[in-house]
Structure 1
Amino acid sequence: MVVLHSDHNTCKKSCILSAIMTQIGLTLLFLGIAAILLLGNILRADIVALMLMLALGLSGILTPQEAFSGFGRQAVIIMLSAFILAEGLRRSGMTERLGTFIIKLFGAGERRLIFGVMAASAFLSLFMNNIAAASLLLPSLSGVARRMKISPSKLLMPLAFGTILGGMATLLTTTNIIVSGLLRDATGTAFTLTDFAPVGLPLTFAGIFFMVLWGRKLLPAQSPAQRHKEEEESDDLLNTYQLSERLVRAEVCASGILDGMTLENSGLREEYNLNVIAIQRGKSTLPIEAKTVLRGGDVLLIMARAEDSIPETLKDFLNVLPSGEWQQDYLSTPDMKLIEAAIAPRSPLASQTLSEIRFGHKFDVKVLAVWRRGRSIRTRLADLPLEFGDGLLIQGTEKSLRLLRTEPGLILLAESAPSTRMTVRGWLTTLIMAATLVLAVLFPEQIAEIMLSGAVMMVLIRTMSMDQAYRAIDWRSLFLVAGMLPVGVALNKTGASTMLADAILSSLGGAGHLVLLAGFVLITVALTQIINGAAAVTVIAPIAIAAAQQVGMEPRSIAMAVALASSMAFMSPLGHSVNVMVMGAGGYTFKDYARVGIPLTILLIVILLIVLPFVIPLG
């Protein structure tokens, strides 16, 4: 009987061990599939997170309560509240005033202006989402750059980097909030609102001074947004958007088939892929309208690809002319302007084509070119799906400009943003924000309740409506975080985090705490350049915390290191949405980000490894 009982216990243990290994294997398999989907950009990060959450629940690895626990986490409530609070602060007018004041205070010369831009963006990102902070400063910054004859390519990357650096010094950054929640799950304690400041602020200052003293020399000298000479503004834009090589001048032959025909009936676009962007009749430039009647002697400025150049069949009706001095005379007149705009974050225009949204009809404009990922797209634009961060070169009137200003999905460049007058409600909103932050510092255990209360108060005093509050929330980020947080639960529950931590520790061969810290920092930084930082820390943080606990290291130190490393998204535009946002307007390429971002990242890693052990002893 004793032997049978012993065999039964052995079999039972073997079955339990097999079940555990199966769950670990499934968890790692699901993570591997998710990584492939994210790295290959096959699906959006938020849908991948939801699929991963469902897979962990349906496979039985997590209970339904555990699988959907992300939606009830404190981290998600803090994020939701932060979006609403930031929108309220923006509507109050205070952030615009502060940002513009800082830029004007330091804005005398390229070096001082870069310092002012980065200081303003870093300061604003302490309280609001990085994208929101950049969106707020971008229009006025472009106007300042034009007036001071400084290329926007010298300022827009510092603007983006400033928001990322400022986010390191506060809890109110998505990755910091996630890591704080995972730390609470593992140890029972989370980071407070000010815990990141002693380490994050030195990193912020180091990043700013690097860009001011050296990084600015690595930035490209020109961009599609560059407008150094007021009198040659349209020439610069056309050259930088590379339109010159696609433009042809042609004269309408008198008594030809096009003489007396309306533009919409000419078939030039539909049949021959020839896009008429200007019509000159005598000394006048005519508006480009469907009902415009062509006359013999009219000179047309036509944009077309080389393979779509004016065919032989049309040369009996159109006389091709030398290029001539068409830029200033044709495209920028007292009645017609060249306007630059960027597709804003969470813009409803993204993923839609110009023809689908009837862009030209809605705003009475013509889109001449799109700047995307370092190259100009100039033809067949009507069927091109727009993307976040695209720069648009637009031709329109003063009325068109006023209409474009009303579109929240666009950020107009190279103009001063209309000033927002501070009202009593604006001052009250600012007071609510200040009180919320103070109370969150004094009572860190109730930070979610305090921040949500502040958000609700802003709605109650009518800083914004409830519908506007909903629109202020970045639901993609929220679902991404809610979907990824249960991954940490699965890694801890199955023992996968412990197993992976053991593998990492054994590979390091008993190296010291600082080496372990550096290893996780490097892994996080590398992963953040190619996938969403929130997804990266959700996987890495539980493993790092488990490794720290096994070797007697302070879990808070390694958790903070992972959180801050995930913000070092400087080497690639894919590392952070704010990099994508300025890419088109600044005319940046992947190489530009690597040239500036690699030395900046190395500097910040070194400073992090020096400063962090003094603030939070490694143990």
Structure 2
Amino acid sequence: MLDPLITTLVILVIATILFLSDKLSADLIGMFVAVALGLTGVLSPQETLAGFSRSAVITIIAIFFLAEGLRRTGVTDQVGRWLVRFAGAKEGRLVLLVMLAGAFLSLFMNNIAAAAVLLPAVSVAARRSQVKPSRLLMPLAFSTILGGMATLLTTTNIIASSLLRDENLSGFGLLDFAPLGLPIVLAGLTYMIFIGKRLLPAGLPLPETPEETDLVGVYRLGERLLQAKITASSPLVGLTLSQSRLRESYGLSVVAVEHSGQMILSPSPKLRFASGDVLTLEGRVDQVPWEQLQNSLQVMPPRVWGERDLESSQVAVVEAVLSPRSRLIGQTLKEVNFREKYGMVVLAVWRSGRPIRRDLANLKLEFGDALLLQGPRDRLPVLATEPDVILLNGEDESYKPTRQGSLAVAIMLAALTASIVFPEAIAEILLAGGLSMVAFRLLSMEEAYRAIEWKSVFLVAGMLSMGLAISKTGAGELAAKNMIALMGTGNPVLLLAGLFLVTMLLAQVMHSGAVAAVMVPIAIQVARSLSLEPHSFVMGVTLATSMTFLTPLGHPVNVLVMGPGGYRFRDYFKVGFPLVLLLFLVVMLFLPVIWPFT
């Protein structure tokens, strides 16, 4: 049998390579790690599977329950509506309010859930205030990450607390992150308002009037639109839209039909063509074999297109993004029967800073995609409740606080208060709060189960096994000795800075939960080797795992806003790099004071 230390290091190296390659999902890698440690004898069977019963996993599940209860009762939506109501028309004020709302919600719920809740309201506020979405959505994403640093209720913070307990040390309490986290939030907000705002991409130029601000222009759909009239001798006369096979044979989608003097937008596949009908077509105009259609269609002179041309009192053009746990991810529009299921037509997809407008039926959807949709206005309220998509600019509806909403807030506050008073029972208290949401019928158990991000649960359960193996085999102690020898110093500030920078760089390309599971045991051993306070080093490393501002890959919330914000990879580095430097200085300045090394 191989030495357990060598076995652990080999498994860790293989897991790191897999994380960096992005060939397998992070949760699958985490589970493989746990199984490998068990099969090789590094961990006992009980230790291998113990991650699923750890308080960290229970706490994460409980947070999903509580957050879903607040969402289902409209509490989180109300925060977004307040944002729209008080935003005003000034960009600076709007950025401040967006970031305050994002940071506030992320104190109590998963970062990406907080961003998903606010995304529609921020989009509406941007549209009404004539502020480009690119000026607001990155601040929204960054604010949720910043807010998560000020609370225990963040995945990496929960993992760190659990690993401290594994070393017979006291875990972090609910408010332990606040003394250092709140200055970080304040520094981040100040930077984004006065400096970061100037570095944000300008996006598309704003038109002179609100009426001209339309999604057709943003998606450059006008480049692919034209009108054509059905001639009297056309073979299309008498055929239905589905029978015409214009999309299948010529790559032309019919988005509107002027029929008998009436404009029909988003026409039904059963609509029957007649002589004189004027079709609004979308496609690669320059690649259509018009010579084959000269007896069927008479192309009309080109014109300037806008959103108003594709809308009416019954039909709307809206934008939506895929939700974080959308079942549409990885599937094509054809495979999910998108039009039949949602009653909307996809006109274009925005991905990685550019619109995609061809062969949409066979395009595999990715997380972060924004969809330009056209369909009946009466479908918008239904679409807004769909868990697979987030509607960005649907119709605003008045909201009145309900008794259920007040009860949900009361349960949340009671759970948080009890967690502060009894920090050793945080997992049990929060789970009791989540179950209370179900008991009082604020959500069903089925809804609660669907709200859980199971990928995070399995990743944490698997990687906690690696954290245990690093401590059990002495791998953490070995890494700590080598790091101290490499840096050639016993200065705790310099050692903390080294750990912080290594952790932060790993978090840009690996799941932050996996990074925490590896780096926290090493931080504990570094502190113990120098007879210093482990909590200080663990706090620094844990905060470093959340410094995911340099790339869109650092955190899913960055990917969520990438499509609707029209961001490119370099935009994150341009705005995020100075922010990371500032927050690094804040941590190095305040941490030794708030969490002394001795």
If the TM-score is normalised by the length of the shorter chain, which range does it land in?
over 0.9
- 2:467 maps to 1:485: no
Alpha-carbon distance in structure 1 between the residues aligned to 2:441 and 2:316? 37
- The correspondence for 2:427, drawn from 428, 433, 448, is 448
Alpha-carbon distance in structure 2 between the residues aligned to 1:229 and 1:459? 48
Determine the structure 2 residue equivalent to 1:319: 298
Determine the structure 2 residue equivalent to 1:10: none
- The correspondence for 1:255, drawn from 213, 233, 239, is 233
| Structure-to-structure mapping, 1:150-549, within 5 angstroms | 150-222=131-203, 229-233=209-213, 236-281=214-259, 284-287=262-265, 288-305=267-284, 308-327=287-306, 330-415=309-394, 418-549=397-528
State which drifts further: 238-247 or 55-64: 238-247
Alpha-carbon distance in structure 1 between the residues aligned to 2:471 and 2:300? 73
Note if contact 1:103-1:120 (Cα within 8 Å) is conserved in structure 2.
Answer: no
State the structure with more CA Rg: 1
Calculate percent identity across the aligned residue pairs: 48
Note if contact 1:154-1:216 (Cα within 8 Å) is conserved in structure 2.
Answer: yes
Note if contact 1:335-1:398 (Cα within 8 Å) is conserved in structure 2.
Answer: yes
Structure 1 residues without counterparts, runs of 5 or longer:
1-18
Q: TM-score, normalised by structure 2?
A: 0.95
Determine the structure 1 residue equivalent to 2:44: 63
Q: Secondary structure, in 3 states, of the residue corresponding to 2:244?
A: coil
Change (3 A) 1:91 1:267: closer
Alpha-carbon distance in structure 2 between the residues aligned to 1:202 and 1:289? 56
Alpha-carbon distance in structure 1 between the residues aligned to 2:147 and 2:308? 45
Alpha-carbon distance in structure 1 between the residues aligned to 2:88 and 2:225? 38
Provide the alpha-carbon RMSD of the alignment: 2.1
Note if contact 2:217-2:307 (Cα within 8 Å) is conserved in structure 1.
Answer: no
Letter aligned with residue 317 of structure 1: S
- The correspondence for 1:117, drawn from 98, 122, 127, is 98
Note if contact 1:258-1:266 (Cα within 8 Å) is conserved in structure 2.
Answer: yes
Deviations 1:158-189 (A, max 9, x none): 11111111110000000000011111112421
- The correspondence for 1:54, drawn from 5, 18, 35, is 35
Note if contact 1:99-1:124 (Cα within 8 Å) is conserved in structure 2.
Answer: no
Q: Secondary structure, in 3 states, of the residue corresponding to 1:529?
A: helix
Alpha-carbon distance in structure 1 between the residues aligned to 2:100 and 2:486? 41
Determine the structure 2 residue equivalent to 1:8: none
Note if contact 2:84-2:124 (Cα within 8 Å) is conserved in structure 1.
Answer: no
Change (3 A) 1:104 1:604: farther
Change (3 A) 1:92 1:406: closer
Deviations 1:508-549 (A, max 9, x none): 012511111011111111111111111111111111211121
Determine the structure 2 residue equivalent to 1:88: 69
Deviations 1:292-336 (A, max 9, x none): 222333333332236742353223323333321343564123332
What's the offset of the Cα at 1:108? Answer: 4.7
What's the offset of the Cα at 1:272? Answer: 2.5
Note if contact 1:146-1:228 (Cα within 8 Å) is conserved in structure 2.
Answer: no
Change (3 A) 1:419 1:333: closer
Alpha-carbon distance in structure 1 between the residues aligned to 2:509 and 2:20? 7
Letter aligned with residue 521 of structure 1: F
Deviations 1:222-253 (A, max 9, x none): 369x78743224xx322221223333433333
Q: Secondary structure, in 3 states, of the residue corresponding to 2:417?
A: helix
Note if contact 1:117-1:159 (Cα within 8 Å) is conserved in structure 2.
Answer: yes
Alpha-carbon distance in structure 1 between the residues aligned to 2:353 and 2:494? 38
What's the offset of the Cα at 1:26? Answer: 2.1
What's the offset of the Cα at 1:468? Answer: 1.4
Alpha-carbon distance in structure 1 between the residues aligned to 2:583 and 2:353? 27
Deviations 1:12-59 (A, max 9, x none): xxxxxxx6x732222222222222222121011111111111111111
What's the offset of the Cα at 1:440? Answer: 0.6
Letter aligned with residue 200 of structure 1: G
Structure 2 residues without counterparts, runs of 5 or longer:
none
Alpha-carbon distance in structure 1 between the residues aligned to 2:488 and 2:26? 35
Q: Secondary structure, in 3 states, of the residue corresponding to 1:46?
A: helix
State which drifts further: 284-293 or 541-550: 284-293
State which drifts further: 519-528 or 403-412: 403-412
Note if contact 1:149-1:228 (Cα within 8 Å) is conserved in structure 2.
Answer: no
Determine the structure 2 residue equivalent to 1:13: none
| Structure-to-structure mapping, 1:594-609, within 5 angstroms | 594-609=573-588
Alpha-carbon distance in structure 2 between the residues aligned to 1:152 and 1:162? 15
Q: Secondary structure, in 3 states, of the residue corresponding to 1:278?
A: strand
Note if contact 1:146-1:227 (Cα within 8 Å) is conserved in structure 2.
Answer: no
Deviations 1:375-421 (A, max 9, x none): 21111111222222211101112123233223122211124654443
Deviations 1:179-203 (A, max 9, x none): 1111111242111111100000000
Letter aligned with residue 478 of structure 1: V
Alpha-carbon distance in structure 2 between the residues aligned to 1:425 and 1:299? 51
Alpha-carbon distance in structure 1 between the residues aligned to 2:531 and 2:368? 45
- 2:560 maps to 1:585: no
Letter aligned with residue 360 of structure 2: L
Determine the structure 2 residue equivalent to 1:149: 130
